[in-house]
Structure 1
């Protein structure tokens, strides 16, 4: 039963492993993918769309406001009763009798009214609309910058996938080398030439490599899932594999590392200043005259759904906000403070961006040096292993020394591959900062 159970577990494991579909993908395919489905880009687009929707509210500055109402009243108030009857066009000489004027009978009134208010000149609303348009433009620019960042993340994730596969390949080669050495050691042990402990050391090394390979398998799946996440695609039962191996991209030859002031995030920051200035102008414009037109059409009767009497009213209104309890003045000071704050933030962000760019340049240079040093160390450890192997075959070295040399060679190769990844990632990040 134990053997059957073990067989079932093994069969299930291999079935699940082979059920995964390996999807080959190239760097060019990654770069050509549409980013519209990326969740971060979608959120940025939603913010831009919200700002554009809020901008629709500024149409009230030139579109009319139309309201309609139907009202019923019943009153014996002398003034209201006489006015209601007058609106209904039912006044007679008897209504001027002092007794009827002073003590009228209750009167019902059904009134229909359509009112139109038409803005003509409202400068504060004009400046608010311009500020709203700039806000929408700023968020559109930020959306484009978000796409650039996601593109960088895709490049980085693809290189992580390359590194994971390269590390697995390196470890599998190390395992083959170790297994080949183990065969020799096993023969020596059978012939009584070495002790059991040396065989056990080799078994420990193989177990260590198997553990590292299992970890790289998880890293491959993690990198693949992250790429699918960035593309907002389903990763179920699928695993990505790069068509190009991890390679060293070469030295950095460019010398101009000055900050691009037209970079989209800096452009968005600077453009937001215009919105602050316009809001200050809008607050000041509240003291300018406002010109608006108005009109109404009214129908009255003492019976429901009857419209025997009607009339209209049209006019223009020129108004000034002479004093509003210093409310507009407070708004001006508020927007001036926000403008000063925004200017300081832009200055800080620009300097931080230049520092980040300088740091990225040094990171590329350091990573380039690291690639050179780790490659040299790998080549030296490989040569040292070759010498140890030859001496071991001649019986001049211990198996522990051979194992140590092989372990060091494998470790240095992994460090070299990691250095290439860091170098390529540093270059991709520098390119992102320079856009």
Structure 2
């Protein structure tokens, strides 16, 4: 499993180097820091973990909404000629009329005919209500859970970054080692060709037999 992952990162690293080299085909330089940066920017697993971290932050903000004040504004209008509604409306508005200081007394709105057959009354009512939560146990528990989840997701992001860094470094240094091994192999081939040429000259000069020539 580790070899497959390392090979996959090596392939991605080489592909990234090829893409990076399109700007300058003659010279291609990619440092380890560049490789790490490219991997962190383009890795889909890390992007998914970071998206989950953003979601965890949003849940913390959402859990705090339970402590925000709630403001409710309502407005009603009533237009009625119902005797009871009209009388109550006038009493609430303090506009009910009567005058007992005259003779005979003026019952006004309280006269029997006016009570039974009042003129229609229009009443406007505006209400403003503000609620400020003081203690919300469910919100406290929810906020604690959201913070714990965010902390755990932060660890997941760190783990994903460390895993990506490790695999990129393995691939990067593996590529450098492969290039070094290739250079050593080419050097060995050149040395062996030199020995073979010396042996051929010695054989042609008669100072070396055929078996010695073949052994070199």
Q: Which residue of the other structure, out of 35, 49, 62, is the alignment partner of 1:54?
A: 62
In structure 2, list runs of 5 or more residues that go unmatched.
1-20, 99-107, 205-209
Q: Summarize deviations over 1:173-201 as a string: whole Å, max 9, x none.
A: 32343456567889999xxx9xxxxxxxx
Distance 1:173 1:81, change over 3 A: same
Larger radius of gyration: 2
Query: Are the aligned partners of 2:32 and 2:172 in contact in 1 as well (CA < 8 Å)?
Result: no
The residue number in structure 2 matching 1:113 is 127
Distance, in Å, in 2 between the alignment partners of 1:179 and 1:15 is: 34
- Deviation of the 1:46 alpha carbon: 0.8
Matched-pair contact (CA < 8 Å) for 2:79–2:121: yes
Alpha-carbon separation, structure 1, partners of 2:129 and 2:22: 77
Counterpart among 183, 191, 199 of residue 172 in structure 1: 183
Give 1:130's match in structure 2, choosing from 137, 141, 155. 141
**1:89 paired residue number:** 94
In structure 1, stretches of 5+ residues that fail to align are 1-12, 194-391, 403-435
Query: Partner of 1:100 in structure 2?
Result: 114
The corresponding residue for 1:66 is 71
2: CA distance, partners of 1:108 / 1:15: 79
Partners of 2:48 and 2:211 in 1: how far apart?
Answer: 59
Structure 1 counterpart of 2:53, from 21, 45, 48: 45
Measured on the aligned residues, the alpha-carbon RMSD in Å equals 4.1
CA drift of 1:150 comes to: 1.4
Q: Which has the higher contact order (CA 8 A, sep 6+)?
A: 2
1:143 aligns to 2:143 (yes or no): no
Going from structure 1 to structure 2, the CA distance change for 1:119 and 1:159 (only over 3 Å counts) comes to closer
Shift in Å at residue 154 of structure 1?
Answer: 0.6
Q: Distance in 1 between matches of 2:166 and 2:96?
A: 86
Structure 2 counterpart of 1:396: 214
Contact 2:196 / 2:213 at 8 angstroms: preserved in 1? Answer: no
Partners of 1:41 and 1:147 within 8 A in 2: no
Correspondences of 1:223-242 after superposition (within 5 Å): none
Rounded Cα–Cα distance in structure 2 between residues aligned with 1:120 and 1:53: 18
**How far, CA to CA, are the matches of 1:22 and 1:117 in structure 2?**
60
Distance change in 2, residues 1:173/1:84 (3 Å): same
Q: TM-score, normalised by structure 1?
A: 0.33
Correspondent of 1:160 among 159, 171, 177: 171
Structure 1 position 126, deviation (Å) = 0.8
How many residues in Structure 1 have an aligned counterpart in Structure 2? 171
Asked if 2 retains the 8 angstrom alpha-carbon contact of 1:72 and 1:111, the reply is yes
- TM superposition score normalised by structure 2: 0.59
TM-fit CA distance, 1:101: 2.4
**CA gap 1:120/1:183 in 2 versus in 1, 3 angstroms:** closer
